[in-house]
Amino acid sequence: MTSEYTKEPKGYTMSTVMQEAARCLLCEDAPCSKACPAHTNPAKFIRSVRFRNVKGAAETIRENNTLGAICARVCPTERYCESACTRAKIDGPIDIGGIQRYVTDMERKENMQILHPGKDNGMSVAIIGSGPAGLQAATTLRQKGYAVDIYEKQAKAGGYLTYGIPEYRLPEAIVDYEVQRIVNLGAKIHYNVAVGTDVTMDQLKQEHDAVIVAIGASAAKTIPMFEHNICTESAISFLSRAKENQGKIDVPDNVLVIGGGDVAMDVVTTLKKLGVPHVTDVVYEEFAEFKASKKELAGAQAAGVTIIDGYAPQEVHQNRVTFKHRKINGELTITTDKIILAVGQKVDATGLDIDIQHNEIPFRDARYHTKDPQVFAAGDIVDGDKTVVFAVQKGKEVAEEIDRVLGGQNND
Amino acid sequence: MINKDLSVDFLGVHFENPFCLSSSPVGNCYEMCARAFDAGWGGIVYKTISTDRFVIDEVSPRFDELTKEDTPFVAFKNMEQLSEHTLAQDLADMKRLKTEYPNKVLIASIMGENDEEWTYLAKKVEEAGADMIEMNLSCPQMTSHKMGSDVGTNPELCKQDCIAVKKGSSLPLMAKMTPNITTMVPVVKACLEGGADGFSLINTVKSVANVDLDKHVGLPNIDGKSSVSGLSGKGVKPIALRFLQQLRSASGLEQLPISGIGGIETWEDAAEFILMGATTLQVTTAIMQYGYRIVEDMKNGLMHYMEEQGVDHLSDLVGLANKNIIATNKLNRNYKVYPEIDWDKCIGCGRCFISCQDGAHQALGWDDEKRLPTFDKSKCVGCQLCALVCPVGAIKLGIVEMKPGREGNPDEIDVSSQRLHTYHPAQSN
CB contact under 8 A, A27 and B349: yes
CA distance B263 to A336: 67
Mean pLDDT is lowest, of B104-118, B389-403, B407-421, for B407-421
Taking only the tens place, the pLDDT of each residue in A206-256 is: 999 999 999 999 999 999 999 999 999 999 999 999 999 999 999 999 999
| C-alpha to C-alpha distances, B116 to A394, B92, B137, B168, B213, nearest whole angstrom | 85, 21, 16, 9, 46
Interface test with A, best of B65, B210, B347 (most A CBs within 10 A): B347
Q: Are residues B98 and B121 in the same domain?
A: yes
Q: Which residues of A touch B371 (CB under 8 A)?
A: 29, 31
Give the span between the Cα atoms of B258 and B243, in whole angstroms.
11
Residue A341 β-bridge partners = A234, A258
Q: Are residues A71 and A139 in the same domain?
A: no
Per-residue pLDDT reduced to its tens digit, A370-407: 999 999 999 999 999 999 999 999 999 999 999 999 98
Q: For B55, how many CA atoms within 13 A lie in the half-sphere containing its CB?
A: 1
Closest to B23 measured CA to CA, from B163, B191, B202, B166: B202
* Distance (Å) from the alpha carbon of B100 to chain A's nearest alpha carbon: 44
Positive or negative: CA dihedral A159, A165, A170, A173: positive
Domain boundary among A285, A311, A344: A344
Question: Does B306 share its domain with B411?
Answer: no
Closest among A336, A353, A139, A91 to B429, alpha carbons compared: A91
Minimum CA–CA partner of A30 in chain B: B349
Q: Check which CATH number belongs to the domain holding B165 and give it.
A: 3.20.20.70
Q: How many CB atoms lie within 10 A of CB B350?
A: 25
- How, if at all, do strands B71-78 and B63-68 pair? antiparallel
Co-location of B78 and B189 in the same domain: yes
**Number of residues in chain B:** 429
**Same structural domain, B182 and B268:** yes
- Residue at B318 is within a domain: yes
Predicted local distance difference test score (pLDDT) of residue B141: 85
pLDDT band at B427 (very low <50, low <70, confident <90, very high): very low
Chain B hits for A31, Cβ within 8 Å:
371
From the list A15, A26, A50, which residue is nearest B351 (CB)? A26
The answer, for A25 touching chain B at a CB cutoff of 8 Å, is: yes
The answer to whether residue A256 sits within a structural domain is yes
φ/ψ (deg, to 5) at A121: -105, 10
Give yes or no: residues A268 and A298 share one domain: yes
**Domain for residue A310, yes or no?**
yes
Q: Which of B269, B291, B324 is the last residue of a domain?
A: B324
Looking at the structure, tell me whether residues A213 and A360 fall in a common domain. yes
pLDDT value at residue B426: 42
Residue A98 backbone phi and psi in degrees, to 5: -65, -40
Which of B69, B353, B426 lies nearest to residue A28, judging by beta carbons?
B353
Q: Band the pLDDT of B148: cuts 50, 70, 90.
A: confident
pLDDT given for residue B416 in this prediction? 76
- CA–chain centroid gap for A193, Å, is 22
Looking at beta carbons, which residues of chain B come within 8 Å of A21?
Answer: 69
Same domain, B271 and B371: no
Residue B139 designated active-site = yes
Is residue A114, in this structure, part of any structural domain at all? Answer: no
pLDDT in tens, B296-308: 999 999 999 999 9
- What lies within 8 Å, CB to CB, of B388 at 6+ separation is B355, B420
- Nearest residue on chain A to B357, judged by CA atoms? A28
Residues of chain A in contact with residue B366, where contact means CB-CB under 8 angstroms, are: 28-29
Say yes or no for a CB contact (<8 Å) between A27 and B392: no
Last residue of a domain, one of B274, B292, B324: B324
Comparing CB atoms, the residue among A15, A29, A86 nearest residue B347 is A86
Residue B429 lies in a domain: no
> Among the three residues A109, A132, A161, which one is the final residue of a domain in this structure?
A109
Q: Tell me how many degrees the CA angle B265-B246-B109 measures, rounded to the nearest 5.
A: 55
Q: What number is the average pLDDT over the span A31-41?
A: 96
* Residue A340 CB-density burial (10 A; 0-12 exposed, 13-18 middle, 19+ buried): buried
Over 60: is that where the pLDDT of A38 sits? yes
pLDDT above 70: residue A22:
yes
- Do B297 and B347 belong together in one domain? no
Q: Which residue of B has its CA nearest to A32?
A: B349
Three-class SS of chain A:
CHHHHHCCCCCCCHHHHHHHHHHCCCCCCCHHHHCCCCCCCHHHHHHHHHCCCHHHHHHHHHHHCCCHHHHHHHCCHHHCHHHHCHHHHCCCCCCHHHHHHHHHHHHHHCCCCCCCCCCCCCCEEEEECCCHHHHHHHHHHHHCCCEEEEECCCCCCCCHHHHCCCCCCCCHHHHHHHHHHHHHCCCEEECCCCECCCECHHHHHHHCCEEEECCCCCEECCCHHHCCCCCEEEHHHHHHHHHHCCCCCCCCCEEEEECCCHHHHHHHHHHHHCCCCEEEEEECCCHHHCCCCHHHHHHHHHCCCEEEECEEEEEEECCEEEEEECCCCCEEEEECCEEEECCCEECCCCCCCCCCECCECCCCCCCCECCCCCEEECHHHCCCCCCHHHHHHHHHHHHHHHHHHHCHHHHC
Q: Is the CB of A27 inside 8 Å of chain B's CB atoms?
A: yes
Mean pLDDT over residues B235-249, rounded?
98
Report the C-alpha gap between A69 and A181 in whole angstroms. 11
Cα–Cα distances (Å) from A151 to A70, A155, A353, in that order, read 21, 11, 16
Partner-chain contact B70 A18, CB within 8 Å: yes
Same domain, B221 and B238: yes
Distance between CA atoms of B312 and A238, rounded to whole angstroms? 75
Residues B360 and B313 in one domain: no
Best residue of A19, A27, A90, A91 to probe chain B, by most B CBs closer than 10 Å: A27
CA B243/CA B276 separation, integer angstroms: 10
**Domain boundary residue, one of A344, A365, A400:** A344
Per the structure, the complete domain to which residue A212 belongs is given by 124-218+347-411
B188 CB contacts (<8 Å, ≥6 apart)?
B175, B177, B199, B247, B250, B253, B256
Q: Is the pLDDT of residue B423 over 60?
A: no
Q: What is the tens place of the pLDDT at every residue in A249-290?
A: 999 999 999 999 999 999 999 999 999 999 999 999 999 998
My answer on whether B315 and B340 are in the same domain is no
Domain tally, chain B: 2
Q: How far is B207 from chain A (nearest CA, A)?
A: 22
Q: Tell me whether residues A86 and B429 touch, CB distance under 8 A.
A: no
Distance (Å) of CA A312 to CA A224, A331, A332, A343: 13, 10, 10, 11
Chain A hits for B70, CB-CB cut-off 8 Å, are 15-16, 18-19, 22
Mean pLDDT score, A149-172: 96
Cβ–Cβ contact B398 with A under 8 A = no
User: Residue B289 falls within a domain, yes or no?
Assistant: yes
Of B139, B158, B356, B380, which residue is the catalytic one?
B139
A186 & A286 share domain = no
Out of B291, B306, B324, pick the residue that ends a domain: B324
Out of A27, A31, A50, name the one closest to residue B69 (CB): A50
CB contact under 8 A, B426 and A19: no
Q: How confident is the model at residue B147 (pLDDT cuts 50, 70, 90)?
A: confident
CB contacts, 8 Å: A27 with chain B: 348-351
Task: Spell out which residues of chain B touch residue A89, defining contact as CB-CB under 8 Å.
Answer: 347-348
In a domain, A257, yes or no: yes
Q: Mean per-residue pLDDT for B220-243?
A: 97
On whether both B186 and B318 belong to a single domain, the answer is yes
Rounded (10°) CA dihedral B417, B422, B423, B426: 130
Number of domains, chain A: 3
The CATH number that applies at residue A67 is 1.10.1060.10
Domain range spanning residue B94? 8-324
Residues B308 and B345 in one domain: no
- Whether residue A283 sits in one domain with residue A200: no
pLDDT band at B421 (very low <50, low <70, confident <90, very high): very low
- CATH number of the domain to which A317 belongs: 3.50.50.60
Chain A residues close to B214, C-beta within 8 Å = none
Are A231 and A329 within one domain?
yes
Shared-domain flag, residues A372 and A291? no
Q: Which of B69, B351, B429 sits opposite A90 (nearest CB)?
A: B429
Q: Which residue of B has its CA nearest to A18?
A: B70
pTM: 0.91
Q: What is the CATH number of the domain that holds B375?
A: 3.30.70.20
| B163 at interface of A, judged by CB pairs closer than 8 A | no
Residues of A in Cβ contact (< 8 Å) with B347: 25, 86, 89-90
- pLDDT value at A335 more than 50: yes
Inter-helix orientation angle A388-406/A132-143, to 10°: 40
Is residue A72 domain-shared with residue A103, that is, in the same domain?
yes
Question: Would the CB atoms of A27 and B366 count as touching at under 8 Å?
Answer: no
B196/A293 Cα distance (integer angstroms):
72
Residue B265 and residue B372 in one domain: no
Within-domain flag for A116: no
Q: What is the pLDDT of residues B308-346, one digit of tens each?
A: 999 999 999 999 999 999 999 999 999 999 999 999 999
From the CA of B391, how many Å to the nearest CA of chain A? 7
- Taking all residues of chain B, what is their mean pLDDT, rounded to a whole number? 94
Q: What's the gap in Å between the CA of A93 and the closest CA on chain B?
A: 13
At B132, is the pLDDT very low, low, confident or very high (cuts 50, 70, 90)?
very high
